[in-house]
Structure 1
Amino acid sequence: MVAHLTMILLIYFLAAMAVHAMHQRHLSRPESEGFEQILLIPSNQAGRIEGIVRELCRELLYRGKSFRLTVVADRTEAETITIIEKLMQRQGMETSYLPAVPADIERVAQTDHTFRLIDLRESEQ
């Protein structure tokens, strides 16, 4: 009888500790920061793109931001695009595409802070 009561008390104690830990984790999360537009230029990064997109989604979802991903890629990057599409579908999100990099994108990205530019072209060099 005493063993059963001790087991019940132990279970209640562990459950209370779990609830307390989850509550502390919830309090430590930053406030929701709204919406962010992401412009991604993958440039044939099929080997690395999954980790990059997963980390981006994890960061934005942790911060409570909703976001829209626009991928700038041509038809030669079909494998990279397929990977991105699968990852975004798992998140329940759609991806939009641009067929070519706009000529003044770097200048606009520096002056206009309404979107974040992730340019992976430089890592190939």
Structure 2
Amino acid sequence: MVAHLTMILLIYFLAAMAVHAMHQRHLSRPAPEGYEQIMLIPSNQEQRIEGIVRALCRELFYRGKSFTLTVVADRTEAETIRIIEKLMHRQGIELSYLSAVPSDLVQGTSTGNRAVRLIDLRDPKQ
């Protein structure tokens, strides 16, 4: 009987320590930095795109940023877009699509209050 009570107390103690550790981890996360607009030009990167998108989501989640993802692609990159759609659907994030990069981003101007990050995966030789 004493062994059972000791085991129950040990389990409660370990559970309380786990909750305390998770709470401390939550408090040590950096403060949220706001909102970011991501524009991604994938350019037929089927082999690498999943790792790139996962790393991007992980980085933004850790920094506490909410974000939207806009894919700039044409119909020839259907497989790459399908992979991105699958990943974003799992994250619960909607995608938007453009057929070309807006001219204000090419010139380097900002769009209002939103931070826009352009990720260009095209081959620089093109």
Query: TM-score band (shorter)?
Result: 0.7 to 0.9
What TM-score, normalized to structure 1? Answer: 0.88
Q: Which has the higher helix share?
A: 1
- For residue 51 of structure 2, what is the aligned residue in structure 1? 51
Matches within 5 A, 1:1-125: 1-102=1-102, 105-108=105-108, 111-112=109-110, 114-122=115-123
Once the two structures are TM-superposed, the CA of residue 12 in structure 1 deviates from its matched residue by 1.3
- Cα deviations across residues 69-93 of structure 1 (Å, max 9, x unaligned)? 0111111100001111111111111
After superposition, the Cα gap between the structure-2 partners of 1:123 and 1:9, relative to the gap in structure 1 and judged at 3 Å, is: farther
Alpha-carbon distance in structure 2 between the residues aligned to 1:18 and 1:114 = 37
Size of the aligned set, in residue pairs, is 123
* Same amino acid, percent of matched pairs: 79
What TM-score, normalized to structure 2? Answer: 0.87
Once the two structures are TM-superposed, the CA of residue 54 in structure 1 deviates from its matched residue by 1.0
After superposition, the Cα gap between the structure-2 partners of 1:26 and 1:102, relative to the gap in structure 1 and judged at 3 Å, is: same
- Cα deviations across residues 54-79 of structure 1 (Å, max 9, x unaligned)? 11111112222111101111111000
Alpha-carbon distance in structure 2 between the residues aligned to 1:102 and 1:20 = 48
2:84 maps to a residue whose letter is I
Once the two structures are TM-superposed, the CA of residue 105 in structure 1 deviates from its matched residue by 3.5
Unmatched segments (≥5 aa) in structure 2: none
**Do the aligned partners of 2:71 and 2:97 also contact (CA within 8 Å) in 1?**
yes
